[in-house]
Amino acid sequence: MTTPSPDTDDDLLLRMRHGDQEAFVSLYRRRQGPIYRFAMHMSGSAHTAEDVTQEVFLALIREDCGYDPARGSLSAYLFGIARKLVLRQLEKGRADLPLEFPADDSARPSMAAPDNPLVDLTHKETIESLRKAVLALPRRYREVVVLCDLEELDYADAAVTLGCPIGTVRSRLHRARGLLLEKLRFEKGPRSHGTALGLNPLRSFI
């Protein structure tokens, strides 16, 4: 028997528009985590990330939400709403440092927990260094890193989210990775991960 293909985001949205509550729940479960992580990494605030995530899906429920599948994927559209909300919060000064990552938060990059407590501590320190380095990036570089490297959006969707050409996404990401590498090398000193980081510093930590 052929296994039915899972519903696409657009399928779920259409069903949701026709009053299917289960479709909304499925869409929320599928996209809530990435939206929350994006807001968390952009703001450094769990409170802001929760507010932004809630507002994103409240906006989606509205009839005039403005989503046009011809302009990009639903995922890109949701990230676009989240980006605008985060920027609004940042302008209001509500999303301040320090970091507010809870111990079990979904924004934590997934890493296998080693048996050695000392190794585990080292890994946690590395992740914390990475978070701080990402949050310290200028906003235009931080958002491309979070979208393309952490959430693995393709360049086309990232361009839709940011409202800029794909070439701009590529150039900003190249610059952002260079800045991240410099920050991580500076913090770790001459014995840093250096060449192990390669072109994409974040993937070496995830």
Domain of 44: which CATH number?
1.10.1740.10
The residue type of 108 is R
Q: 165-169: list long-range contacts, CB under 8 Å, 24+ apart.
A: 169/144
Q: Say yes or no: 69 and 26 in one domain.
A: yes
Q: Say yes or no: 136 and 182 in one domain.
A: yes
- Tens place of pLDDT for every residue, the chain, 206 residues? 555 667 899 999 999 989 999 999 999 999 999 999 999 999 999 999 999 999 999 998 886 778 888 888 999 999 999 999 999 988 887 544 444 444 444 444 343 334 444 445 455 667 777 888 899 999 999 999 999 999 999 999 999 999 999 999 999 999 999 998 888 887 666 544 444 444 455 554 44
Q: Say yes or no: 145 and 52 in one domain.
A: no
DSSP string, 83-147: HHHHHHHHHHT-S-SS----TT-TTSPP-PPPS-HHHHHHHHHHHHHHHHHHHHS-HHHHHHIII
Q: Does the pTM of the predicted model rise above 0.85?
A: no
Among candidate residues 68, 102, 136, the one where a domain is terminated: 102
Q: Where in the sequence is the domain holding 141, given as residue range(s)? A: 109-206
On the CB side of 33, CA atoms within 13 Å amount to: 12
Alpha carbon of 28 to those of 13, 37, 67, 69, 83: distances in Å?
10, 14, 16, 18, 17
CA distance 19 to 195: 53
The residue type of 14 is L
Among candidate residues 102, 119, 135, the one where a domain is terminated: 102
Q: Say yes or no: 95 and 5 in one domain.
A: yes
Q: Say yes or no: 81 and 114 in one domain.
A: no
Q: Say yes or no: 72 and 1 in one domain.
A: yes
Q: Say yes or no: 98 and 120 in one domain.
A: no
Q: Say yes or no: 66 and 116 in one domain.
A: no
pLDDT number for residue 49: 95
* 96 CB neighbour count, 10 Å cutoff: 12
Q: Say yes or no: 133 and 82 in one domain.
A: no
pLDDT number for residue 104: 45
Show the CA angle centred on residue 36, arms to residues 32 and 40, nearest 5°: 175
Q: Say yes or no: 113 and 204 in one domain.
A: yes
* CATH code, domain with 175: 1.10.10.10
Q: Say yes or no: 82 and 118 in one domain.
A: no
Tokens of 195: 């060449």
Domain count, the chain: 2
Among candidate residues 81, 102, 123, the one where a domain is terminated: 102
